[in-house]
Amino acid sequence: MNEKQKKRFYKRWWFIVLVIVVIIGVLGCNREVNDEPQQASDNQELKEVVSNINEEQEEVTSDEEVEEPEDPVIEEEEAAETLSQKNAVRKAEQYLKIMAYSKSGLIEQLEFEGFSNEDATYAVNKLNVDWKEQAVKKGKQYLKTMAYSKSGLIKQLEFEGFSNEDATYAVNKLNVDWKEQAVKKGKQYLNIMAYSKSGLIEQLEFEGFTTEEATYAVDQIGF
């Protein structure tokens, strides 16, 4: 054999380079294989996060109150309201703060103030008024200044423009001692005119008091 023997193949440079390339390739494959579960896990977590966000948005949307759009009819009416109509509404509100009115009585009062029937009617219809309660208030106001029989007060309220139903409701709602009202009425008559006992009884009956109420009043007065 020669002194300089040929190098074995596994010690040659090209073999060493080849082995290194193979090792790098194997390591790369292992890394890709190891990364696949991690990537799959990351994708799953991302999907869960997105799903949770969508669910939260749906819950917020369902819980939020949906604002109703303003009624275009009301907006049109307010826009179409004239200055005279606005003033009629304000004037009607002012009157109702100091005195009770029937619907027709309030319209007449506004007309007396110079408003047209159209504007006065518009204003009264625009207000939210319980006319039965207005009748009760009016009945109380009358009883503070003058004595009335039950039927006489109903007629007076009807004269003011209240319906028979509203007037009757008001009188029945009031806690009134009609016999005492007959006494007051009898005294009022005697302050302006002389009466006999029977004549005063007849006058009180004419005012709507019953015979029992009128007789009680005359006896209380001292005939």
Which of these ranges, 7-11, 154-158, 200-204, has the smallest mean pLDDT?
7-11
Alpha-carbon distances, residue 216 vs 150, 203, 210 (angstroms) = 16, 14, 10
Average pLDDT, the chain: 81
Structurally, what CATH architecture does the domain formed by 131-176 represent?
Answer: Orthogonal Bundle (1.10)
**Sequence ranges of the domains in the chain:** 80-129, 131-176, 177-223
Burial 13-34 (b: 16+ CB within 10 A, else e): eeeeeeeeeeeeeeeeeeeeee
CATH topology of domain 177-223: Arc Repressor Mutant, subunit A (1.10.10)
pLDDT tens-digit series, residues 36-51? 445 545 455 545 544 5
- Taking residues 139-144, report their average pLDDT: 97
Structurally, what CATH architecture does the domain formed by 80-129 represent?
Answer: Orthogonal Bundle (1.10)
